[in-house]
Chains A and B, each alone.
Chain A
Amino acid sequence: QVQLVQSGAEVKKPGASVKVSCKASGYTFTSYGISWVRQAPGQGLEWMGWISAYNGNTNYAQKLQGRVTMTTDTSTSTAYMELRSLRSDDTAVYYCARVVVVAATGGWFDPWGQGTLVAVSS
């Protein structure tokens, strides 16, 4: 079955960087994209960006431009999201999700990974 398995929880200090992985299985990795979405404690969903696993093209949320980098390793069917210059308000659960690409803008998200808690604290 289609599955996305994310790396474990992280605790980081302000100013540091974090890199979260998302390993895909059960489908042809390069036929879809991967999006990243985060959820601060008790809050809603915030879209961070997505990457085409086919050609590596990326589209980031304007709010995070310059601080986030999304990459893929097609040899291991793994996607990565790196967030730099961490602040306390970056504390959140980070989800990856498979993007079913239907247009130049991308598509819907199905399924989602289990989530990775990133806590930023001094």
Chain B
Amino acid sequence: EIVLTQSPGTLSLSPGERATLSCRASQSVSSRYLAWYQQKPGQAPRLLIYGASSRATGIPDRFSGSGSGTDFTLTIRRLEPEDFAVYYCQQYGSSQYTFGQGTKLEIK
């Protein structure tokens, strides 16, 4: 099973700042089959990024994904108040899908 480790566990930033979230895999994720999801309290997760760098429909362009192999990054260019949430990475390149443990993005 591919283990995904997200860092940091909590990120404290102010609106307008840039957020960089990391997702590291225990082995290479084939074909960049990695997705990012956002989850707000009491809500279902929402797809942000698929294929490591493709934005989902309706996702603002301040969200971007990059990386390959074992290292992936989600960047939020200028934080808006509605961006403070928990973010999960997920790989779907192996038959046993896995999620990272999540990064909580909180207002400083």
Please report A residues at the B interface, Cβ cutoff 8 Å.
35, 37, 44-47, 50, 59, 61-62, 95, 97, 100, 102-103, 105-115
Contact = CB atoms under 8 A, between A and B. Distances in A.
Interface in B52-74: 56
A95 B99 CA distance: 14
Chain B interface main SS type: loop
Nearest to A47: B97
A31 B101 CA distance: 30
B97 A106 contact: yes
A115 B31 CA distance: 30
B94 interface: yes
Q: How large is the interface on B (under 10, 10 to 19, 20 to 34, 35 or more residues)?
A: 20 to 34
Taking chain A's interface residues, is the majority helix, strand, or loop, or is none over half, making it mixed?
A: strand
B88 A45 contact: yes
A105 B93 contact: yes
Contacts of B102: 44-45
A1 B86 CA distance: 25
B46 interface: yes
A61 B99 CA distance: 12
Given A45-B99, A62-B96, A112 B45 contact: yes
